[in-house]
Amino acid sequence: MEMISTVVVLVIKSLIFIVGMFLAAAYLTLIERKFAGHVQQRPGPLHVGFHGLLQPIADALKVLTKEDLVPNNVDKVLFYLASLMAFVPAIMILAVIPFGDPIKIFGFEIKPYITDINVGLILALAFGSISIYGVIFAGWASNSKYPMIGGLRKAAVLIGYEVALGFAMVGPIMMAGSFSLREIVQAQEGFFGAFIWYQPLAFIVILFAILAETGRTPFDVQEAEAELVSGYNTEYSGMKFGLFPLAEWYIGTFVLSAIAVILFFGGWKGPHIFGAFSPFIWFFLKVFMMFMFFLWVHWTLPRYRVDQITEIAWKVMLPLSLLNIFITAIIIMVKG
């Protein structure tokens, strides 16, 4: 009985998370389009609903009802698998992200996270990397030049930034003494307890790695519109195409921003000024700020070459993250 109720609660919670993430991702597209528009001094979506508020729904209907073309010579299995491979792991990272402490409503204890495992951060890293396989598979399976180049570029970039990302996350983990995201948040007490004050180097490396992982502009070599037609997703159409930007640009960026917020900005911690929901509000506010920062960088910078990215990753970011580990270790040893 205990088992069944746990399963039911978990299923309901997962559904809420997945549906919520879908809706959030749809509206993140609107935010991105509005932001990109205003950066270029144009208003963005304006006519569907008040200031384009219904635009994501119209887009979703459009992309779902579009004809789903599969070219003749593609590797069918990988071609179908790739879009799911990009999308499912990206949304699965949500399973380990805690949105707040357990709260009591009408006598029930509600945990605003699906699971709190002691290797949460490693799981998130692993799913993030599997999500990239989708891009590489898509490039390979399309049996076409541009997607192939896009996929290979992503593979080249992946090797560089994943190492730096993994090492950069070691700093906060050492300070918190745990891999569990919830315990990392609980280790950060107060405004000056946030790890951003102690780990600025790790933060910079992680910013770099998140930009590279989600394929946002300074490192968007895999879909460089000006060089490769649309990169790895050139041969895709319909919802199979729609899943790629959704997974990479929106869900991926959102979830990795959440992880960055948990690691460096104290997660849901904040003054209790919004009543019972103040942890959620603080968490989403921080994630939103982080997301907007990524958008801002995306719509500002031009694109690096692949060799430049690997150079930065191996020659700058990896030494920085190692240096960070070294300094953190010494400080922890000295302070005891």
Q: Of 296, 305, 326, 329, which one interacts with another protein (CB under 8 A)?
A: 296
Q: Which is nearer to another protein, 43 or 319 (CB)?
A: 43
Residue indicated by tokens 């490039």 = 139
Q: Which stretch binds another protein (CB under 8 A): 35-43, 78-86, 192-200, 229-237?
A: 35-43
Q: How far apart are the first and last CA of the chain?
A: 47
The stretches of 93-251 forming alpha helices (DSSP H) are 120-141, 145-168, 170-176, 181-186, 200-213, 238-245
Element holding 324 (H helix, E strand): helix 318-335
Q: Is 145 in the site for another protein (CB under 8 A)?
A: no
Question: Which residue, 38 or 272, has its beta carbon nearer to another protein?
Answer: 38
Q: Does 46 bind another protein (CB under 8 A)?
A: yes
Residue 83 CA: distances (Å) to CA of 88, 156, 231, 269:
9, 20, 14, 36
Minimum separation from the CB atom of position 200 to another protein (A): 11
The stretch near another protein (CB under 8 A) out of 39-47, 70-78, 163-171, 279-287 is: 39-47
**301 lines the binding site for another protein (CB under 8 A):** yes
Q: Is 37 in the site for another protein (CB under 8 A)?
A: yes
Distance CA 216, CA 20 (A): 23
Taking the C-alpha atoms of residue 268 and residue 182, their distance in angstroms, rounded to an integer, is: 10
Check residue 300 for interaction with another protein (CB under 8 A).
yes
Q: How far apart are CA 44 and CA 50, in angstroms?
A: 12
Task: With beta carbons less than 8 A apart as the criterion, state whether 212 and 301 touch.
Answer: no
Q: Residue 42 Cβ, how far from another protein at the closest point, in Å?
A: 5
Binds another protein (CB under 8 A): choice among 1, 2, 3, 41: 41
Candidates 26, 48, 285, 297: give the one binding another protein (CB under 8 A): 297
Interface contacts to another protein, rule CB under 8 A: 35, 37-43, 46, 296-297, 299-301
